[in-house]
Amino acid sequence: MRFKLKEQFLTDAKGHKQAVVIDLDSYRELMEDVSDLRVIAERKNNSKYSSTSFFLKLKKNGIL
């Protein structure tokens, strides 16, 4: 997580945490991170390139 999460907790009458509230900017960043992780998980078994050949191709093209 690359941001400081500012959360507030909603509690019941006994003080037990029941829910959490976060500010809209934190929510958006959190959802972006979740989306990125979903894409990574979906591509995990993509065997088109090995990581070594992928990085070599990036270096060859001057990207790295």
Please write the tens of the pLDDT for every residue from 35-56. Answer: 999 988 888 777 676 778 878 8
**For 5-36, how does the pLDDT look when each residue is reduced to its tens digit (9 = 90+)?**
789 999 999 999 999 999 998 899 889 999 99
With CA atoms as reference, report the closest residue to 29 among 4, 53, 51. 4
- pTM of the full predicted structure? 0.55
Taking the alpha carbons of 6, 12, 17, 20 in that order, is the dihedral positive or negative? negative
pLDDT at position 1: 46
What is the rounded distance in angstroms from the CA atom of residue 29 to the CA atom of residue 26? 5
